[in-house]
């Protein structure tokens, strides 16, 4: 039987070959998307493993070898900025010849030496020296190799010092090995966020891909079923017919799987350059494990064979012909219950925010899960309602026929687009939440105060960190630095915020609570109006430190930026230590980066000076990665759903060849039939897309109201562009099936059938 | 031999429908080799012949479904064989009605919607089209079946629905290609009686292709197609024709 199945698949003439090619092409597309998703997860893992050394601490999860015999290494990690790019800076000082060496460099840089990643090396050469290179004393002695970098675009620098130098730096610590465990490895309390996101995206795409592959294998099922009926007439048993169907599906799918692998490896280097996660990959990162290969190579044909078997169970193939099993009963209204329950659950928590992270995860996770599953369950019922309404209101024959067909079997109509729901719901909900959080953050930068003022915090008193480091309080700012800052083009004013002598004395343990307040001379404040102003007649004002996140947020949220007078004479200010330095600029890159470079060079052992925009740049980069992935998921899921639809449209056309060709023969314009086909495909696509996106955004809104007391902000233009582009592509794919209509409904069809 | 006017009938009358020396091949296989036929307005003509003789091809050429390789096809004073596809489609939609052997109803639509379809295509409002369609259900003994789908109708019922659909637009010509081919003899007779009665009532011309002599007997005139040509005219010959008419 298997041999007969093979013969029927491969040597049954042109129609069989066309069917084989069509199924194989569809499967290749699906397999390609699957492989890219799997390789994407592997690539992020590879990135995470290579950059594990940047998460080194004194308690490494998986320390590098030779820890027992290694000489300690003074090390300090910090995130620097250049424009919107984050630079990962590592300062090191060897205490002996056996001090551990980070990956990617042959040996530790000595004092006055540094290694830079290729992208940073290029930036160091192209950016004005006073805006970047002056932050890194000494000369570049080499390039950090790819094995230590996340991406070809990574900006990483390893700066060498003497042990004495770093020993005085309160942020530096001694280590004996570098971390080798990737973020998210077992035991890591901070799971890899991007891996989690990618896994969700891959999961969201998996369902539409599998539905698509299943739909592809059912292509021209009616024609095949007629042939099976003929075989039953000459004595084939139902089991034998089932084996032949499975062989046909498996052969076509196997060809598709091979083609899918070829497409993946052919496009791998191009795909690597697409910054799906915010940064491009190295081409080799997009690799597949043997388990991935086995899963796809074996799993997809098995799924195809099962889909073919399932399709045959829906029809009764007797020796006298093919009869469809009785149309299943119409979907009932109870299908809307899970969806409503999910929405109601999320709505319940508005104003009743659960206490604790675990309770929150349970509450919101259950709500989102229920709403998503509810959409899938309610889909056929909603499709039926929509199509009945369409048929009832139809004035044109095309709308009437399409509405009736959709209402006849809403499950089948919905099946082709059901995969879309998962992807679009997740993407829309995620994008809604991201956009609102980003908007909230952008608003809290306080306009010019957050954007144009570079702040260097020092602290007003000594601080003891949880791991025992003592960070000294305020500093004395040399006049030469003030002059240097003033001389930078674009710098408008420099204001010092002094430590308040009335603040509590003694070292602060752990992070300070709330924005600490310092003192500023009203004459200085007047030179940086974005910071606010003093009360009339005051000489000194109490002001939160700008530069601390909370400080700027306070500025942003203050409706009246009039700072209260402080009972300290102006002449006493100069003798008080400086708790923070605010540099007012015109917002230009040259001014901000020039000032940052000067401050970093002057205070190498202090926090990196930053604007609020800089402070959130790292998060913003991650969120941008999220956003891009969500856009990719939206477009990919829409395109895959359209492919499924196109396949079912083509299948439906072949099944209805005769009535359609007879209608055409009797003078029905081809345009009417085209509209029937287009409506049958486009209507479920558009309705389901709107329902999934709408429910996703509603769920996001309820979550934001409950958790953050924020209302949903409309997603950015990127979201709408992705949806419109995806829908446009999808409709284009559906339109591509329309020429088939002309061909299969020609007069010869009516004559020959 | 071609002309600017349609060929005259043997009795000298101008025909409503005419084919003159029509040749049509499908690849290397000739289907018509110079067939000629003229049908008067209101006439019921049966085209007979064995399988593969070319009778369906002749009907398709007369209806403007196929364009002949050579020869002329006339509908009144208009030549179908030189018309474009869009014009022929419009003609088929507006002036002709069709009944085929089977499978012509749109399965998703109810019986009444199927009947109303030509009117809807012609731009008639839905309520008016359905009202018009329902009137045919009584005339064709289909009362009570309006809301059924094609799968819920017997073969005879489905053919009568198809007949109603062919006649609802009050066409000038009904082309029936083996309209009883899939029916038992009783149902077949019922369909033919209704077709003839309705055509007479509306003055509709009927071109009926069949290989069944009993069905052909309902026609006023029979022509026989053999090897792609019209070889015989059997006019008023059937013994029970007068009785039926």
B104/A659 Cβ within 8 A: yes
pLDDT at A726 over 90: no
Give chain A positions within 8 Å (CB) of B129.
none
pLDDT for res A594: 93
Verify whether the Cβ–Cβ distance A400 to B120 is below 8 Å. Answer: yes
Nearest to B150 by CA among B108, B118, B119, B120: B108
Interface touch A667/B94, C-beta < 8 Å: yes
Name the nearest CA neighbour of A424 among A154, A126, A673, A641: A641
Q: Residue A22 and residue A221: Cα distance in Å, rounded?
A: 13
Which whole number is the average pLDDT over A716-729?
Answer: 81
pLDDT tens digit string along A684-722?
888 888 888 899 999 989 988 887 777 888 777 777 888
The number of beta carbons lying within 10 Å of the beta carbon of residue A262 is 13
* Beta bridge mates, A139: A113
Cα radius of gyration rounded to whole Å, chain A: 33
* Closest Cα in chain B, distance from residue A411 (Å): 15
* Least trusted range by pLDDT, from A327-336, A418-427, A570-579, A672-681: A418-427
Q: Which of A257-271, A691-705, B177-191 shows the lowest mean pLDDT across its residues?
A: B177-191
First CA to last CA across chain A, in angstroms?
A: 29
* The residue to which tokens 């094995």 are assigned: A147
pLDDT for position A668: 83
DSSP H or E segment with residue A665: helix A657-665
Q: Rounded to an integer, what distance in angstroms lies between the CA atom of residue B104 and that of residue A265?
A: 49
The 3-state DSSP class for residue A128 equals coil
Of B65, B106, B125, the CB nearest to A401: B106
Max intra-chain CA distance, chain B: 53
Q: Is B201 helix (H, G, I), strand (E, B) or coil?
A: helix
Residues of B with CB under 8 A from a CB of A: 56, 60, 65-66, 86, 89-94, 96-98, 100, 103-109, 113, 117-118, 120-121, 125-126
Question: Which residues of A are less than 8 Å from B66 in CB distance?
Answer: 747
Assess A658–B contact: CB distance below 8 Å, yes or no: yes
In chain B, what residues touch A751 (CB-CB under 8 Å)? 56, 60
CA–CA separation, A348 vs A363, rounded Å?
10
Q: What is the mean pLDDT of chain A?
A: 79
A321 touches chain B (CB under 8 A): no
Identify which of A394, A408, A747 has the shortest CB distance to residue B60. Answer: A747
Q: Do A665 and B98 touch (CB under 8 A)?
A: yes
The residue-averaged pLDDT of B10-19 equals: 78
* DSSP label of A475: B
> Measuring CA to CA, which residue among A208, A124, A254, A663 is closest to residue A416?
A208
Reported confidence tier of residue B242, pLDDT bands at 50, 70, 90: very low
Domain ranges of chain A: 1-58+185-318, 63-175, 327-445+616-753, 448-614
CB contact under 8 A, A400 and B66: no
Q: Enumerate residues 368 to 407 of chain A having a beta carbon within 8 A of any beta carbon in chain B.
A: 394-397, 400-401, 404-405
A586 Cβ contact list (under 8 Å, min separation 6): A452, A490, A492
C-beta atoms surrounding A729 within 10 Å: 16
**Residue A616, pLDDT score:** 55
Whether residues A397 and B56 touch (CB distance < 8 A) is answered with no
pLDDT, position A126 = 93
Cα dist. B145→A352, A359, B151, B168, B178 in Å?
A: 58, 60, 12, 17, 24
Work out whether the CA dihedral A263, A266, A272, A275 comes out positive or negative.
negative
The domains of chain B are located at 17-236
**pLDDT value at A370 more than 80:** yes
Tokens of A335: 């299908």
- Are A396 and A664 a contacting pair, CB within 8 Å? no
C-alpha to C-alpha distance for B73 and B207, rounded to whole angstroms: 14
- Angle of the A410-443 helix axis to the A397-408 helix axis, nearest 10: 90
Angstrom distances, CA of residue A288 to CA of A49, A256, A268, A293: 16, 18, 11, 7
A666 and B56 within 8 Å at the Cβ level: the answer is no
CA distance B239 to chain A (A): 33
Relative to beta strand A321-324, strand A139-143 is unpaired
Both structure tokens of B110: 């109810």
Question: Two tokens at A7?
Answer: 């013969």
Place of tokens 């990665």: A625
Query: What number of other Cβ atoms are within 10 A of residue A590's Cβ?
Result: 17
Cα A44 to Cα A150, A279, A285, distances in angstroms: 8, 10, 8
Q: How many CB atoms lie within 10 A of CB A95?
A: 16
| Of the candidate ranges A292-306, A579-593, B176-190, the one whose mean pLDDT is the lowest | B176-190
pLDDT at residue A492 is higher than 70: yes
Q: Do A395 and B89 touch (CB under 8 A)?
A: no
Cβ separation B65–A405 shorter than 8 A: no
| pLDDT band, residue A613 (cuts 50/70/90) | low
Mean pLDDT of A234-254: 78
* Chain A residues with CB-CB distance to B101 below 8 A: none
Q: How far is A367 from chain B (nearest CA, A)?
A: 39
| CA A155-A159-A160 angle, 5° bins | 160
In A120-208, at which residue ranges do the beta strands (DSSP E only) sit?
139-143, 156-160, 173-175
pLDDT attached to residue A321:
54
Report the pLDDT averaged over residues A564-580.
Answer: 84
User: What is the Cα–Cα distance from A587 to A615, expressed in whole angstroms?
Assistant: 16
B-facing residues of A in 403-442 (CB < 8 A) are 404-405, 408
Burial of A213 (0-12, 13-18, 19+ CB in 10 A): buried
- E-strand ranges in chain B read 17-26, 29-39, 44-48, 70-75, 78-79, 96-99, 173-177, 205-209, 221-226, 229-235
In terms of Cα–Cα distance, which of A539, A545, A497 is closest to A520? Answer: A497
| Other beta carbons within 10 Å of A632 | 21
Model pLDDT, residue B202 = 86
What's chain A's length in residues?
753
> Which carries the bigger pLDDT value, residue B226 or residue A472?
B226
Q: pTM score, two decimals?
A: 0.63
Q: Does A322 lie at the interface with B, CB-CB under 8 angstroms?
A: no
pLDDT confidence bin for A547, thresholds 50/70/90: very low
Residues of A in contact with B118 (CB under 8 A): 666
C-alpha triplet A326, A332, A338: angle, nearest 5°:
130
The residue of chain B nearest to residue A658, with distances taken between CA atoms, is B103
pLDDT score of A179: 81
Mean pLDDT of A224-228: 69
Cβ A666–B107 below 8 Å, yes or no?
Answer: no
| Chain centroid offset of residue A446 CA | 27
Paired tokens of A40:
């994407």
| Alpha carbon of A268: minimum distance to chain B alpha carbons (Å) | 46
β-strands B44-48, A156-160 pairing: unpaired
Place of tokens 């590098």: A64
Q: Is A325 on the interface with B (CB under 8 A)?
A: no
Give the residue-averaged pLDDT of A623-647: 73
CB atoms within 10 A of CB A686: 15
- Distance from the Cα of B10 to chain A's closest Cα (Å) equals 30
Q: Is B100 in contact with A400 (Cβ distance < 8 A)?
A: no
Which two structure tokens, joined as six digits, stand for A457? Answer: 């915090």
A656–chain B Cβ distance below 8 A for any pair = yes
Answer yes or no: are the C-beta atoms of A282 and A275 closer than 8 Å.
Answer: no
Cα A371 to the center of its chain, rounded Å: 21
Q: Out of A266-270, A378-382, A547-551, which region has the weakest mean confidence (pLDDT)?
A: A547-551
Phi, psi of A213 (to 5 degrees): -65, -40
Among candidates B92, B113, B125 on the partner chain, residue whose Cβ is nearest the Cβ of A666:
B92
Among the ranges given (A70-74, A298-302, A414-418, B228-232), the one the predictor scored with the smallest mean pLDDT: A414-418
A510-544: pLDDT as tens digits:
444 445 678 899 988 888 877 778 888 888 988 87
Q: Any bridge partners for residue A173, and if so which?
A: A75
Q: Which of A319-323, A442-446, B230-234 is most confident?
A: B230-234
Test B109 with A665 for CB contact under 8 angstroms.
no
Q: Are A484 and A590 in contact (CB under 8 A)?
A: no
pLDDT in tens, B128-175: 999 999 998 888 888 899 989 888 888 888 888 998 999 898 999 999
What is the distance in angstroms between the Cα of B109 and the nearest Cα belonging to chain A? 6
Average pLDDT, chain B: 84
Query: Touching check for A675 and chain B: CB below 8 Å?
Result: no
Lowest mean pLDDT among A298-302, A594-598, B57-61, B70-74: A298-302
Q: Which of A404, A662, A667 sits opposite B109 (nearest CB)?
A: A404
CATH of B17-236, one of 3.20.10.10, 3.30.70.260, 3.30.479.10, 3.40.50.300: 3.40.50.300
Please provide residue A725's backbone torsions phi and psi, each rounded to the nearest 5 degrees: -65, -45
Find the CB nearest A401 among B98, B103, B109. B109
CA distance A729 to A722: 10
CA distance B173 to B98: 9
Q: Which residues of B touch A664 (CB under 8 A)?
A: 89
Chain B hits for A659, Cβ within 8 Å: 103-107
Are A666 and B118 in contact (CB < 8 Å)? yes
């Amino acid at each position: 039987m298997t041999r007969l199945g093979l013969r029927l698949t491969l040597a049954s003439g042109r129609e069989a070959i066309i069917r084989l090619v069509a199924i194989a092409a569809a499967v290749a597309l699906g397999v390609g998307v699957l492989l890219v998703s799997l390789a994407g997860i592997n690539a992020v893992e590879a990135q995470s493993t290579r950059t594990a050394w940047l998460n080194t601490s004194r308690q490494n999860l998986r320390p590098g070898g030779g820890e027992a015999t290694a000489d300690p290494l003074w090390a300090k990690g910090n995130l620097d900025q250049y424009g919107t790019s984050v630079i990962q800076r590592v300062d090191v000082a060897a205490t002996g010849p056996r001090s551990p060496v980070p990956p990617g460099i042959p040996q530790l840089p000595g004092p006055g030496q540094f290694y830079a990643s290729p992208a940073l090396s290029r930036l160091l050469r192209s950016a004005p020296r006073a805006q970047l290179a002056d932050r890194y004393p000494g000369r570049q002695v080499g390039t950090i190799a790819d094995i230590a970098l996340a991406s070809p675009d990574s900006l990483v620098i390893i700066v060498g010092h003497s042990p004495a130098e770093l020993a005085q730096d309160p942020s530096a610590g001694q280590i004996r090995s570098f971390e080798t465990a990737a973020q998210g490895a077992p035991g890591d309390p901070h799971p890899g966020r991007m891996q989690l996101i990618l896994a969700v995206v891959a999961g969201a795409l998996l369902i539409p891909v599998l539905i698509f592959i299943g739909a592809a294998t059912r292509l021209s099922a009616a024609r095949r079923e007629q042939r099976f009926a003929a075989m039953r007439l000459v004595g084939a048993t139902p089991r034998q017919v089932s084996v032949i169907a499975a062989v046909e599906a498996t052969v076509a799918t196997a060809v598709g799987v091979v083609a899918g692998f070829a497409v993946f490896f052919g496009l791998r280097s191009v795909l690597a350059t697409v910054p799906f996660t915010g940064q491009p990959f190295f081409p080799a990162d997009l690799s597949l494990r043997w388990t991935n290969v086995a899963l796809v190579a074996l799993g997809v044909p098995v799924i195809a064979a099962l889909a073919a078997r399932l399709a045959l169970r829906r029809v009764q193939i007797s020796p006298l012909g093919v009869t469809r099993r009785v149309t299943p009963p119409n979907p009932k209204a109870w299908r809307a219950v899970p969806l409503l329950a999910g929405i109601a659950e999320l709505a319940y928590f508005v104003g009743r925010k659960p206490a604790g992270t675990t309770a929150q995860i349970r509450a919101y996770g259950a709500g989102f899960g229920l709403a998503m599953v509810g959409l899938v369950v309610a889909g056929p019922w909603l499709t039926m309602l929509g199509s009945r309404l369409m048929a009832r209101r139809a004035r044109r024959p095309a709308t009437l026929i399409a509405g009736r067909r959709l209402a006849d079997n809403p499950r089948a109509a919905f099946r082709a687009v059901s995969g879309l729901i998962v992807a679009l719901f997740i993407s829309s909900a995620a994008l809604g939440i991201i956009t609102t959080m980003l908007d909230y953050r952008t608003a809290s930068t306080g306009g010019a105060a957050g954007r144009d003022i570079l702040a260097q915090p020092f602290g007003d008193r000594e601080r003891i960190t949880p791991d025992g480091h003592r960070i000294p309080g305020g500093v004395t700012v040399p006049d030469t630095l003030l002059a240097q800052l003033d001389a930078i083009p674009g710098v408008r004013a420099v204001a010092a915020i002094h430590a308040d002598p009335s603040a509590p004395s003694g070292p602060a343990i752990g992070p300070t609570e709330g924005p600490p307040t310092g003192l500023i001379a009203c004459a200085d404040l007047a030179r940086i109006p974005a910071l606010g102003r003093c009360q009339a007649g005051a000489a000194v004002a109490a002001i939160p430190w700008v530069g601390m996140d909370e400080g700027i947020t306070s500025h942003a949220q203050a409706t009246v930026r009039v700072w209260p007078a402080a009972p300290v004479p102006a002449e006493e200010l100069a003798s008080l230590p400086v708790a923070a330095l605010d540099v007012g600029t015109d917002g230009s890159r040259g001014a901000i980066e020039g000032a940052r470079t000067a401050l970093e060079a002057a205070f190498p052992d202090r926090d990196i000076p930053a604007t609020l925009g800089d402070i959130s740049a790292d998060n913003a980069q991650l969120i941008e990665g999220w956003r891009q992935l969500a856009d990719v998921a939206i477009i990919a899921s829409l395109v895959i759903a359209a492919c499924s639809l196109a396949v079912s449209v083509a299948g439906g056309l072949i099944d209805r060849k005769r009535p359609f060709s007879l209608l055409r023969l009797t003078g029905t314009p081809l345009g009417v039939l085209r509209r029937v086909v287009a409506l049958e495909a486009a209507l479920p696509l558009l309705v389901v897309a709107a329902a999934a996106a709408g429910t996703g955004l509603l769920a996001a809104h309820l979550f934001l109201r409950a958790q953050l007391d924020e209302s949903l902000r409309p997603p950015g233009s990127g979201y709408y562009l992705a949806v419109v582009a995806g829908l446009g592509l999808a409709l284009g794919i559906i339109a591509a099936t329309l020429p088939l209509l002309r061909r299969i409904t020609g007069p010869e069809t009516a004559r020959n059938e | 031999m071609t002309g600017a006017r349609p060929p005259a009938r043997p009795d000298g009358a101008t025909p409503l429908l005419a084919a003159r020396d029509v040749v049509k091949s499908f690849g290397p296989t000739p289907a018509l080799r110079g067939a000629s036929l003229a049908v008067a307005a209101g006439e019921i003509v049966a085209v007979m012949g064995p399988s593969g003789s070319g009778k369906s091809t002749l009907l398709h050429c007369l209806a403007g479904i196929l364009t002949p390789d050579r020869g002329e096809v006339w509908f009144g004073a208009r030549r179908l064989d030189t018309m474009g596809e869009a014009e022929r489609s419009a003609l088929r939609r507006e002036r002709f009605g069709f009944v085929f052997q089977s499978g012509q109803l749109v399965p998703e639509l109810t019986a009444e919607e199927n009947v109303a379809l030509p009117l809807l295509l012609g731009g008639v409002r839905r309520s008016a089209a359905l009202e018009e369609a329902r009137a045919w259900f009584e005339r064709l003994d289909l009362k009570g079946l309006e809301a059924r789908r094609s799968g819920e109708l017997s073969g005879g019922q489905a053919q009568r629905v198809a007949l109603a659909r062919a006649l609802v637009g009050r066409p000038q010509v009904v082309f029936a290609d083996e309209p009883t081919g899939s029916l038992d003899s009783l149902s077949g007779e019922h369909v033919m009686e209704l077709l003839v009665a309705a055509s007479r009532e509306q003055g509709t011309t009927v071109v009926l292709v069949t290989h069944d002599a009993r069905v052909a007997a309902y026609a006023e005139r029979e022509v026989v197609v053999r090897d792609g040509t019209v070889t015989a005219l059997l006019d008023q010959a059937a013994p029970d024709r007068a009785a039926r008419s």
